[in-house]
Amino acid sequence: MKHSGKLISVLVPLVSVMMAFVIGCAIIAILGASPVTALQALWTGAFGTARNISTTLSRATPLIFTSLCACFAYRCGVFNLGGEGQFMMGSIICCYIATRTGLTGLPAILLCLLAGAVFGGLWAMIPGILKVFRGQNEMIISIMLNYVASLFMSVIYTNWLRDGTVPQTAAVPDETRLTRIFGRATTGFLIALVVGALIYYFLFNTSMGFQLRAVGLNMTTAEYNGFAVKKYILLSFIVSGAIAGLGGSAELLGTQYRLISGFASGYGFDGVAMALIGQLHPLATMAVAIFFAALRVGSTAMQTATGVPTSVSDIIQALVIVFTVAGLAMVKLPSFKTALARLHMKKEAA
Amino acid sequence: MEELLRMEHITKRFGDVYANRDIDLEVRKGEVHTLLGENGAGKSTLMNVLFGLYQPTEGSIYLRGQKVRIDSPAQAVRLGIGMVHQHFMLVEAMTVFENIILGDKNTKGIFIDKEARKKEIVELSERYGLDVELDKPVTEIAVGAQQRVEILKALYRGAELLVLDEPSAALTDLEVEGLFRMMGKLKEEGKSVIFISHKMREVMRISDRITILRDGRTIRTLDREATTGEELADLMIGRELVPSQYVKVEQAGEPVIALREVDYHKTSKHNGLNGVTLTVGRGEVVGIAGVDGNGQSQLAQVVTGVIAPDAGSVDMKGSTVAQFTPNGFILENVSHIPEDRNKMGLVGDMSVKDNIVLKATGDPRFSAAKGFFLKKKAIRDHALAIQKKYDIRCASIDQEARNLSGGNQQKIILAREMESQPDLLVAVHPTRGLDIGAASFIHDVMIEARDRGCGVLLISADFDEILEVSDRIVVMFEGQVMGEFSGKEPPIDQISLAMAGK
């Protein structure tokens, strides 16, 4: 049973992706283009050349951070839907340090990353504290704080840190930008990988990570077994926010260089969806983030090459989410479980 | 009198657990028929079968002599069965009136003739003395009034047979009188009532006949006139004394835990503690007997640090406890087999192995560098050894704990809690739902711990279990200690009276 459980958790997203692509192809065909050519263009756009691969990885970097942010909180049984706001708060403080303090180079980079993580963590602490000490719904509060962060960011780029006539901040000076290691991919991507690996290690190889997962799976049992449930919940919010905040810094220093309208828009919820498809496994979640980035990068190439609009890629992405969530719900149904058990017994009998 | 309802050989099985086993029940027209039994005796399951919420595994139901199949509550309502659940099923934001007409199939078309409906309801409420304010939202009326709404709802839909599941639990004495008057009126009109309760005084007052359930089986149906409260109490808890296979300890060691005048939500009869004074010494098993829901859960939570008492003091090994946290009690070497193993004892989605070491991953045996490096091999070896020692039957120790049978799940908890060599073991319904083999294994382990010098507090609604392993028996009723008895040759008559609150 154990074995088949693991198999299913891999199969469900894979089958979902295939189904999404089948429907995507049907749409492409209806639009009058050849699905094969379109998918080829999509693939080449995302992975065809070293440069394209680097673009994909660069696009994946912020998504990895926000999806790890969602993943970490979910693992402790709480829903941090505020990844986007925490991401923005990280990038805001980062922008201030990079453009206004006069610090440049490596010290500035390190300080920016650290401050971004701290600010993201502090921003996530608000729903955490309200949840733990006042029993408030963390989902609603963290979503609402996204709006606060987003509006605060617009104050920043239209007023406080505005540079010139266009509503945007000054660009991060060249020497404070993250090093490009490969095409467009920067050290930010490496940082994301390291964060993911650390989270994986923490969750599955430390006593605290074990207890945090236990809290996430059954709070009452955790409490009865003497775990500091409230501490873990608060901690999971702070760490989760810090991951997003760090991502905000890395994105600003590595890719965007300045705050501008639309910065980080949508990253938060994208992250939640990817964490769900990755079934809260940090490594799988990272793979899913790269996959989604590839779909996005590739779709532009697909549009140029075949005239199929990029929204077809959006449809595929949405379908992957819908199918995976539905599929995971389906395999939990009692009737499905019985059928599976029966299949097992037949196999054993044979 | 004419027969209204007959349930024959009703068996309801959930997995391996029988909630009802070959139950027979016959209700006549115009009678109040009481179902008497402890929690877990199968009363609610039987009524859920009657109301179409569950399908019986076996057995059949006859209404007015006709065999019927009830596959939904809507079907039950059509057949004239009304049910008032222990926990009310009202839409809180709606008014009383809206709740009563909600889902009424007689309202045809889009528009509801509110005035006509209201008139009908007012007539009904006057006829049965069910006083309610129709235009108030349910949130604004008291619990007693909510119950009257539930009853009106059932009567409005034409119930000929009304099931009342522990209706008096939440009522004031005055409201109970009103309830009984209403029941009397229904009887006069030839309607029948199934009354579920374990309050002996009320049962003796209002019932015509009484059916006793125990362990999911029908024990007997008796006429009220031909029985006494004592007889009912005896039948309810089952009184044959089987000599215990364990040697009873008469002299306990020094106290491990001592409660003095502990209060918790004192005014709540069913979920509180009222002036509880209790000591558990080293090397003895203290059994808490009593019908479920008389403060036992709260007692267990106080002595494991889950809740803090409102008043009174708790001494742990001679010093007064200042802070009530589960971790504080665990550090004092208190082990806990909680009452709900899936909700409080296990992390169902984690493996057998993980559940075995749940508490101990920070221990140097299982992790290095203050918990930053789990020794997975050591954990696996330990779990395998425990699995063998406690005979936990599973396909693999990596299997999810939720997929194990109840007995094996309980063994995981037992193993985890006993491996720390506790000074105090608090075991709440440790063998509920288990087969005899698993149950006696758990008893053996408890007695072993006792002989090693551990104090054991056993809380159980299973009276046989209490008699079997307790060295001292304490009876609780409505949050109070009703008496203390020796576990060696226990005076069963007195204990069962104490359990009934006398």
Cβ pair A205:B373 closer than 8 A:
yes
* Element (DSSP H or E) covering residue B349: none
B94 neighbors B146 (Cβ within 8 angstroms): no
Cβ pair B354:A210 closer than 8 A:
yes
- The 3-class secondary structure across chain A, one letter per residue, is CHHHHHHHHHHHHHHHHHHHHHHHHHHHHHCCCCHHHHHHHHHHHHHHCHHHHHHHHHHHHHHHHHHHHHHHHHHCCCCCCCHHHHHHHHHHHHHHHHHHCCCCHHHHHHHHHHHHHHHHHHHHHHHHHHHHHHCCCHHHHHHHHHHHHHHHHHHHHHHHCECCCCCEECCCCHHHCCCEEECCEEHHHHHHHHHHHHHHHHHHHCHHHHHHHHHHHCHHHHHHCCCCHHHHHHHHHHHHHHHHHHHHHHHHHHHHCCCECCCCCCHHHHHHHHHHHCCCCHHHHHHHHHHHHHHHHHHHHHHHHHCCCCHHHHHHHHHHHHHHHHHHHHHCCHHHHHHHHHHHHHHHHC
Q: What is the pLDDT of residue A85?
A: 97
Q: Which residue has the tokens 């009484």?
A: B210
Q: What would the two tokens of residue A7 be?
A: 């198999």
Range with lowest mean pLDDT among A321-335, B50-64, B161-175:
B161-175
* pLDDT tens string A124-175: 999 999 999 999 999 999 999 999 999 999 999 999 999 888 999 999 999 9
- Distance (Å, rounded) from C-alpha B353 to C-alpha B370? 21
Residue of chain B whose Cα is closest to the Cα of A337: B403
Task: Please give the mean pLDDT across all residues of chain A.
Answer: 92
Q: Which residue has the tokens 């002599």?
A: B65
Q: What is the pLDDT of residue B174?
A: 79
Q: Which residue has the tokens 């059994």?
A: B287
Nearby residues of B466 by Cβ (< 8 Å), 6 or more positions away: B287, B288, B289, B458, B460, B473
Nearby residues of B405 by Cβ (< 8 Å), 6 or more positions away: B15, B16, B393
Q: What would the two tokens of residue B486 be?
A: 């020796």
Is the four-CA dihedral B119, B124, B126, B129 of positive or negative sign? negative
* pLDDT tens string A259-311: 999 999 899 999 999 999 999 999 999 999 999 999 999 999 999 988 889 99
**Band (B173; pLDDT cuts 50, 70, 90):** confident
Cβ pair B367:A207 closer than 8 A:
yes
B187 neighbors B32 (Cβ within 8 angstroms): yes
Q: What residues of B are in contact with residue A205 (Cβ under 8 Å)?
A: 373-374, 376
A199 touches chain B (CB under 8 A): no
- Distance (Å, rounded) from C-alpha B276 to C-alpha B189? 46
| Segments making up each domain of chain B, as ranges | 3-237, 242-333+422-502, 346-420
Interface A-B, measured as beta-carbon pairs within 8 A, has a size of 77
Phi, psi of B249 (to 5 degrees): -90, 130
Mean pLDDT of A2-15: 79
Across the interface, which of B306, B350, B374 has its CB nearest the CB of A224? B306
Q: What is the pLDDT of residue B330?
A: 95
Q: What would the two tokens of residue B461 be?
A: 């609604």
A213 neighbors A203 (Cβ within 8 angstroms): yes
Measured CA to CA in angstroms, residue B461 lies from B265, B302, B433 at distances of: 21, 18, 12
* Other C-beta atoms lying within 10 Å of the C-beta of residue B152: 24
β-partners of residue B120 are: none
Measured CA to CA in angstroms, residue A234 lies from A73, A78, A116, A306, B328 at distances of: 10, 10, 19, 49, 20
ipTM attached to this prediction: 0.87
Cβ pair A220:B326 closer than 8 A:
no
- Distance (Å, rounded) from C-alpha B137 to C-alpha A150? 40
* pLDDT tens string A222-252: 999 999 999 999 999 999 999 999 999 999 9
Q: What residues of B are in contact with residue A220 (Cβ under 8 Å)?
A: 343-344
Cβ pair A221:B306 closer than 8 A:
no
- Distance (Å, rounded) from C-alpha B195 to C-alpha A275? 51
Single out the residue of B293, B294, B307, B299 nearest to residue B257, CA to CA: B299
| Segments making up each domain of chain A, as ranges | 58-272
Q: What is the pLDDT of residue B105?
A: 60
* pLDDT tens string B101-153: 887 766 566 677 788 888 889 998 898 888 888 888 888 888 888 889 999 99
Share of chain A above pLDDT 90, in %: 84
* pLDDT tens string B385-413: 999 999 998 888 999 998 888 889 999 99
DSSP code per residue over B246-285: SPPP-S--SEEEEEEEEEESTT-SSS-EEEEEEEEETT-E
- Distance (Å, rounded) from C-alpha B5 to C-alpha A334? 33
> Which amino acid makes up residue A141?
I
* pLDDT tens string B445-459: 999 999 999 999 999
In words, the CATH class of domain B242-333+422-502 is alpha beta
Q: Is B370 left (phi over 0), alpha (psi -120 to 50) or beta?
A: left
Q: What residues of A are in contact with residue B306 (Cβ under 8 Å)?
A: 223-224
Question: Distance, in angstroms, between B394 CA and closest chain A CA?
Answer: 11
User: Residue B56 pLDDT > 80, yes or no?
Assistant: yes
pTM of the model: 0.78
**Band (B89; pLDDT cuts 50, 70, 90):** confident
Range with lowest mean pLDDT among A208-212, B239-243, B245-249:
B239-243
Phi, psi of B276 (to 5 degrees): -85, 125
**Band (A4; pLDDT cuts 50, 70, 90):** low
A75 touches chain B (CB under 8 A): no
- Distance (Å, rounded) from C-alpha A73 to C-alpha A80? 6
Q: What is the pLDDT of residue A2?
A: 46
- Distance (Å, rounded) from C-alpha A199 to C-alpha B162? 58
Q: What is the pLDDT of residue A3?
A: 56
Cβ pair A208:B347 closer than 8 A:
no
What letter does residue B242 receive in the DSSP assignment?
Answer: P
- Distance (Å, rounded) from C-alpha B467 to C-alpha B462? 9
Cβ pair A225:B346 closer than 8 A:
no
Q: Report the alpha-carbon angle A315-A319-A320, nearest 5.
A: 120
- Distance (Å, rounded) from C-alpha A272 to C-alpha A69? 8
A1 touches chain B (CB under 8 A): yes
Cβ pair B403:A206 closer than 8 A:
no
Burial B207-242 (b: 16+ CB within 10 A, else e): bbbbbbbbbbbbbeebebeebebebbbbbbbbbeee
**Three-state DSSP class for residue B448:** helix
Share of chain A above pLDDT 70, in %: 97
* pLDDT tens string B461-486: 888 889 999 999 999 988 999 999 99
Residue of chain B whose Cα is closest to the Cα of A208: B371
Cβ pair A217:B400 closer than 8 A:
no
Cβ pair B336:A221 closer than 8 A:
no
Interface test with chain B among A208, A215, A224, by most B beta carbons within 10 Å? A224
User: Residue B378 pLDDT > 80, yes or no?
Assistant: yes
What letter does residue B405 receive in the DSSP assignment?
Answer: -
* pLDDT tens string B2-11: 889 999 999 9
Question: Distance, in angstroms, between B420 CA and closest chain A CA?
Answer: 13
Burial B54-83 (b: 16+ CB within 10 A, else e): bebeebebebeeeebebeebeebbebbbbb
Cβ pair A224:B395 closer than 8 A:
no
Single out the residue of B386, B384, B381, B361 nearest to residue B371, CA to CA: B361
Q: What is the pLDDT of residue A1?
A: 44
In words, the CATH class of domain B3-237 is alpha beta
* Other C-beta atoms lying within 10 Å of the C-beta of residue B151: 25
Q: What would the two tokens of residue B239 be?
A: 């009184």
